[in-house]
Amino acid sequence: MSDTLPAMIDPFGRAVTYLRVSVTDRCDFRCTYCMAETMTFLPRKDLLALEEIDRLTSAFVWRGVRKVRLTGGEPLVRRNIMWLIKALSRHLGGGLDELTLTTNGSQLHRYADELVDCGVKRINVSLDTLDPAKFRVLTRWGDFDQVMRGIDAADRAGLKIKINAVALRGCNENEIADLLQWSHDRSFDLTLIETMPLGEIEADRTDQYLPLSLVRARLEQRFTLHDIPYQTGGPARYVHVTETNGRLGFITPLTHNFCESCNRVRISCTGTLYMCLGQEDAADLRGPLRASKSDVPLHAAIDEAIARKPKGHDFIIDRTATPAISRHMSATGG
């Protein structure tokens, strides 16, 4: 396949250069804001095979995607995941600038060195609290010490680590300054995320929602924050923290419209393409992928979908309403 296929430009002139791929909807944790404890997962036969994920992702690389992030569910619990990562790494230095993943850290102690061998340079690790007891409550099934061992292994292996923390009212809100200090002491960037209304969970979203404008104001009582133009190709806005000499990002899908510069699309573990995290509209790519050995029908389906990429999302957190988007974050990977 040549690398001269036409770029994917949406109706608003935005080039799609960033692809997030959910490799599984399964997870070894059950974070309270993400999943119900009794989540039912998709039948395995509905999932794309790893070879199909490779073919689909490669098609996007040929169409101009320069950054691929694997996510889930927990990407590192998918069986043979390193086969996929190794396969995709062949694009690095060709069409692809970056191959990365977002993980809960539980399997990093096993895979950190192999990830580095595959050309992965940076990873995001989700960690919402440094308190082992609270970590247990929040993740339901997670083992804090195992995650810490994973983070240590990733650090030792030379992976650049960004910690992602969801700001949760009444849960970690009094710990965010400590999380910032800890991350920066270890030379990790920290990004804070607002909760998004995705999927049915047991808790009430309005109880969990904590606006980052408030978090920022509180942090400014202890730290000096300066806005900086730093960009990673994602939706975070960054500040430099004078006291720690580190970087802090804010992802605020609800308090800001973060869509103007949206350059990304998502593929679910069943091969559904989501043009926007906050909209239901989607395109099935598994059908065209399986229909033919040729990628021609696949590229036609991609073109049709990109032509429908919406201008922005419709998130609203409303106590009386069902979730703005009924699918869980673990289906599309956030």
Chain positions contacting ligand SAM, by CB under 6 A:
27, 33-34, 71-72, 74, 102-104, 126, 164, 166, 193, 195-196, 198, 329-330, 333-334
Phi and psi, residue 238, nearest 5°:
-115, 150
- Nearest distance from C-beta of residue 6 to ligand SAM, angstroms: 31
| C-beta of 59 vs 193, nearer to ligand SAM | 193
- Residue 286: left if φ>0, alpha if ψ -120 to 50, beta else—which one? alpha
| C-beta of 246 vs 333, nearer to ligand SAM | 333
- Roughly how many angstroms between the first and final C-alpha of the chain, as a whole number? 30
DSSP string for residues in 39-61: PPPPPGGGSPPHHHHHHHHHHHH
- Nearest distance from C-beta of residue 151 to ligand SF4, angstroms: 14
Q: Which residues contact 249 (CB under 8 A, 6 or more apart)?
A: 162, 189, 190, 191, 192, 236, 237, 238, 239
For the beta sheet containing 282-284, the strands, ordered from the edge strand earlier in sequence to the opposite edge, are 225-228, 237-241, 246-251, 189-193, 160-166, 122-126, 98-103, 67-71, 18-22, 264-267, 272-274, 282-284
Residue 30 binding result from ligand SAM, ligand SF4, none, given CB thresholds of 5 to 8 Å by partner type: ligand SF4
By the rule CB under 6 A, 30 interacts with ligand SF4 = yes
Q: In 10 A of CB 265, how many CB atoms?
A: 26
- Binding range to ligand SF4, per CB under 6 A, among 29-37, 89-97, 191-199, 218-226: 29-37
Q: Which of 273, 330, 331, 332 binds ligand SF4 (CB under 6 A)?
A: 330
- Nearest distance from C-beta of residue 27 to ligand SF4, angstroms: 3
281-288 long-range contacts (CB < 8 A, ≥24 apart) are 281/308, 281/310, 283/308, 285/56, 286/48, 286/52
- Nearest distance from C-beta of residue 322 to ligand SAM, angstroms: 14
- Nearest distance from C-beta of residue 129 to ligand SF4, angstroms: 12
By the rule CB under 6 A, 74 interacts with ligand SF4 = yes
Q: Which of residues 145-174 bind ligand SF4 (CB under 6 A)?
A: none
Binding mask 110-129 for ligand SF4 (x = CB under 6 A): ----------------x---
d(CA 288, CA 295): 8
- Nearest distance from C-beta of residue 323 to ligand SAM, angstroms: 9
Q: In 10 A of CB 196, how many CB atoms?
A: 24
- Nearest distance from C-beta of residue 174 to ligand SAM, angstroms: 18
Q: Strand, coil or helix: what is 134?
A: helix
- Nearest distance from C-beta of residue 264 to ligand SF4, angstroms: 18
Q: What is the largest CA-CA distance in the chain?
A: 59
Report whether 235 contacts 278 (CB < 8 A).
no
By the rule CB under 6 A, 266 interacts with ligand SF4 = no
Buried b (16+ CB within 10 A) or exposed e, 289-306: beeeeebeebbebbeebb
| C-beta of 126 vs 244, nearer to ligand SF4 | 126
Residue 181 binding result from ligand SAM, ligand SF4, none, given CB thresholds of 5 to 8 Å by partner type: none
By the rule CB under 6 A, 29 interacts with ligand SF4 = yes
Q: Strand, coil or helix: what is 147?
A: helix
| C-beta of 56 vs 269, nearer to ligand SAM | 269
Q: Which of 19, 21, 27, 56 binds ligand SF4 (CB under 6 A)?
A: 27
Residues that bind ligand SF4 (CB under 6 A): 27, 29-31, 34-35, 72-74, 104, 126, 330
